Chain A
Amino acid sequence: MDLAAFHQQFREEAAENVRVLQDGLLALETEAGAGQRRATVDRIFRAMHTIKGSARVLGFEPISRLAHALENLLGELRQERRVFDRPLADALLRGGDAILALSDAAVAGRAPPLDVEALIASLPASAEAATPPAALASPAAPPEPPRVAPPSSPRAAGQTVRVRVDRLDRMLNLAGELVVSQQTLANHADELRTLQAAVEQQLHALRQLEAELARLRFSPMQRQALDLRLAAAHEAGARASLLVQQQTERFSRHTGQHELLVRDLEQEVMAARLLPIATVFGGLPRAVRDLAQATGKQVRLSLHGETVELDRKVLEAIADPLLHLVRNAVDHGIEMPEERQAAGKAPQGHLTVRAEAASSEVRVVVTDDGRGIDPQHLREQAARRGIISAESAAHLPDHEALDLIFAPGFSTASVITDISGRGVGMDVVRQNLAELGGRVEVESQPGLGTSVTLILPLTLVTTRILLVRVGRDSFALPVSACRGVIWIDRQQVQSLEGQPIVEHEGRTVAVRNLAELLGTEAPATNSGAGRTPAVLTGGPQRLVALLVDELLDEREVVVKPLGALLAPQRRFGGAVQLGDGCLVLLLNPAHLIPSVRNTPLETPATAPRVRRLLVADDSFATRELIRSVLQSAGYEVVVAVDGADALEALRSEPIDLVISDVEMPRLNGFELVTRIRAEREFHHLPVVLVTSLASEEHRRRGLEAGAQAYIVKSQFDQQSLLEVIRRLLGDER
């Protein structure tokens, strides 16, 4: 028997039951009513018992032993031979976590990731051991609980089955195909109506012919023969007309009915993918509790709108950002109890997470009543970190200053704490949301609290797109990534830092040609005078106008993934099938527009055309050294941490010259040069290898691979590097 399917099921069931345990324990910490508490203890006892039983059946011995030990503790709690206190709750929570880790490992066929015996030994000692044995008349084993299947069974309404997500996806895909073929059927109906008109025309022509013949002279014999023929023609024509009419009606009726069915089917399949947001909220109480405990803060968490439904993929994608926001709120937002009291607030902070459905969007709002964010502090931070100049920071209005927390590399905590300051910044939150077609907004009142709103599409099944034409090809842009459409007059285009820009509503907007970004054709097509449509995209700090040849349409479509083979490229998020069956690629604007890190548009222009150099080195120190040398020489610098990263950077933005280390992970310098030379568009791109490998052999290999220059680190001096770069860039010209 193949147990794999059962293993998977066991893991899911264990996760569900551990969730019951966690929720129950957290409830016990607040619940007061004795009856309610007893019901909760019963529930978590049963959950643990189920885990134990299933683990035993499947031969997951360590899990069943641990579950047994936890069940004993819960049994004692249930018989009121043990008091529920924090150490017990902590021990049980730890046990639950261990069960999850163990079941993950067991299902994956790995060795247990932790020492089960040690964990069991660390659990609070059994009450029996403490009680004199004489006091126990009954055997030590806890009584068998009423045999109840996993906690879902009390829900009587609507039976459920587990369906694999890929199966749902395929169903949805097929439903989408039906919609397209429905379009084809509608086209057929139109053609039938054209046919009907043609038949009518033919009958009309026949009648004209008849009238014409009536005016001519014929012998009675001829007349009779003609009448006979005409009558036959009339009859055949009338029959054809009737048949065509009947068929057209029948077909149209059928198509109409079919259309309703297809639409219903599509909606049902879409609905099947929706899950209540409670699945994501589930982890929050525990996170808040642990974090409050670790930081010594007092926090009350309220969850609202747990029944709001969202697409499974959206839920998956917001789980981490939401957790991050909640951690942020507890860690940075809510003050210590003394501080709160000093500010005249209740010592216990209040954190609210609320989900609301609004037409095609769902808003998830995380609100705290903590210290809020001080825009002035943000301005100073941003200026200090070089994200924007001190001068432009001073001019930022408050709401735009708040937006700075989403800037890459920005962290407001003056001390990076181990809790929320671990790499996932607000920039990642914003990026995750943008990839989903959502947004994130922040509002704050210093001293009163902060509120962060995640705005999410209800479903990822259909996406609203803008269809544009570039040369002979059509492309789709997600409407969620578009901030509007403007018409750009060639005369208005100015230049800043060598980049074309326009002024739009008092903002500086970079202008990029979509054809050029895509490399589809020479940008000469719309370089003449006159007005060109452009799609505004990018963040509020960095607006970009994408020039296109024509705006075709805006519509709701099903976006299909491009598949595993094309997953490494990020420029296209999928493909869209139009009604006529042809495919159109969906652009991913965030990955289309080269990131100009550290050089926001506010920077005043100095040089007319700044050369952009790419520095690839896996050593942070070397990378930064070279970067500072080059930057002070007036070059713009993009950095990459290895060869593969460098290739990605090369593909995403125009680079004038590459300076690379040789020894790097993933793709070394020699390989990088070979790859650069292999691509036609980079054929003439100069590459300088800077390395500690001083041997003649390496120098030869580097030059053979196609590097223009080879500089050894031990002989590294700024002037010679800059000279080499100047020479190579000069040669390029």
Chain B
Amino acid sequence: MSDCATPVLIPEEGQHGDPSASLIVRTGIEWYALPGACVREVIRWRAPTPVPGTPAVIPGIINQRGSIVPVVDLRIALGFPASAPERSTRFVLLHHETVALALLVDAVIDLVLLDEDTFEPPPAGRVRLLAAVSRYEQRPLGVIDPGALIAAVQEGL
């Protein structure tokens, strides 16, 4: 199957994403898509303030223009070990319903329009965070369900 993605502009700091687009991010060697409707902005990594007693998936909180935003490490949410931040490490600010969070990803790759007709149901197994599976540059691409992600994180609190 060929690519089903059309590139669009990545939102700069402070800009809103295109609601119909998806933000492609990398975590380890895996690529995931975040629905553009809930992506607020992409910001550089900075050291979060740890919150004792919270699970490892929440490495801490950051202050984003006066609001406290909890950081959620996508790596740990997906079951990978944590890793040290690199030059490409980013926070993707997500707003879903009443919840705001800064998703820690290893890199932000692209902002694209995914063709929803090509979405397939996620494979059986550990897929509780995925809404669907698509393809991007000959790779499998997990489409993250923000609601499921938040539910999974809150369950651990």
B66 / chain A contacts, CB cutoff of 8 Å: 173-174, 176-177, 180, 560
The answer on a CB contact under 8 Å between B67 and A566 is: no
The answer on a CB contact under 8 Å between A563 and B68 is: yes
The answer on a CB contact under 8 Å between A566 and B51 is: yes
Whether A177 touches B65, Cβ cut-off 8 Å, given contacts A568-B154, A569-B53, A572-B51, is: yes
Encoded as 1 (CB less than 8 Å from any A CB) or 0, chain B from 9 to 26 comes to 000000000000000000
Encoded as 1 (CB less than 8 Å from any A CB) or 0, chain B from 121 to 153 comes to 000000000000000000000000000001001
Complex partner residue of A583 from B52, B63, B99, CB under 8 angstroms: B63
Q: Report B46-84 residues with CB < 8 Å from chain A CB.
A: 49-55, 58, 61-63, 65-70, 72
The answer on a CB contact under 8 Å between A562 and B53 is: no
B52 / chain A contacts, CB cutoff of 8 Å: 473, 518-520, 571, 585
The answer on a CB contact under 8 Å between A585 and B49 is: yes
Q: At the interface, yes or no: A651 with Cβ under 8 Å from chain B?
A: yes
Q: Report A130-156 residues with CB < 8 Å from chain B CB.
A: none
Q: Interface with B: A40-48, A89-97, A487-495, A573-581, which one?
A: A573-581
The DSSP consensus for interface residues of chain A is mixed
Whether A583 touches B68, Cβ cut-off 8 Å, given contacts A562-B61, A575-B49, is: yes
Counting contact residues on chain B (CB < 8 A from A), the size range is 20 to 34
Q: At the interface, yes or no: B101 with Cβ under 8 Å from chain A?
A: yes
The answer on a CB contact under 8 Å between B51 and A577 is: no
The answer on a CB contact under 8 Å between A562 and B157 is: no
A574 / chain B contacts, CB cutoff of 8 Å: 68
B55 / chain A contacts, CB cutoff of 8 Å: 679
Q: Report A559-615 residues with CB < 8 Å from chain B CB.
A: 560-566, 568-569, 571-572, 574-575, 577, 581-585
Q: At the interface, yes or no: B100 with Cβ under 8 Å from chain A?
A: yes
Q: Give the distance in Å from the alpha carbon of A520 to the alpha carbon of B51 in the complex.
A: 9
Most chain-A CB neighbours within 10 Å: which of B50, B62, B66, B72?
B66
A180 / chain B contacts, CB cutoff of 8 Å: 66
Q: At the interface, yes or no: B98 with Cβ under 8 Å from chain A?
A: yes
The answer on a CB contact under 8 Å between B49 and A566 is: no
Complex partner residue of B53 from A174, A518, A560, A561, CB under 8 angstroms: A518
A572 / chain B contacts, CB cutoff of 8 Å: 51
A575 / chain B contacts, CB cutoff of 8 Å: 49, 61, 63, 68
The answer on a CB contact under 8 Å between A562 and B63 is: no
Q: Give the distance in Å from the alpha carbon of A518 to the alpha carbon of B52 in the complex.
A: 6
Encoded as 1 (CB less than 8 Å from any B CB) or 0, chain A from 157 to 182 comes to 00000000000000001101100100
Q: Give the distance in Å from the alpha carbon of A565 to the alpha carbon of B58 in the complex.
A: 10
Q: Give the distance in Å from the alpha carbon of A583 to the alpha carbon of B70 in the complex.
A: 12
Q: Give the distance in Å from the alpha carbon of A174 to the alpha carbon of B58 in the complex.
A: 25
Complex partner residue of B68 from A518, A519, A560, CB under 8 angstroms: A560
Please give me the residue from chain A that is nearest to B49 by CB atom: A583
Q: Give the distance in Å from the alpha carbon of A651 to the alpha carbon of B55 in the complex.
A: 12
The answer on a CB contact under 8 Å between B70 and A565 is: yes
Q: B101 to chain A: closest CB distance in Å?
A: 5
Please give me the residue from chain B that is nearest to A574 by CB atom: B68
Complex partner residue of B99 from A520, A563, A651, CB under 8 angstroms: A563
The answer on a CB contact under 8 Å between A571 and B53 is: yes
| Cross-chain pairs A/B with CB under 8 angstroms, 7 sampled | A473-B52, A519-B52, A563-B67, A565-B99, A565-B154, A569-B157, A581-B63
The 5 closest A-B pairs by CB, nearest first: A177-B66, A583-B49, A518-B52, A564-B99, A173-B66
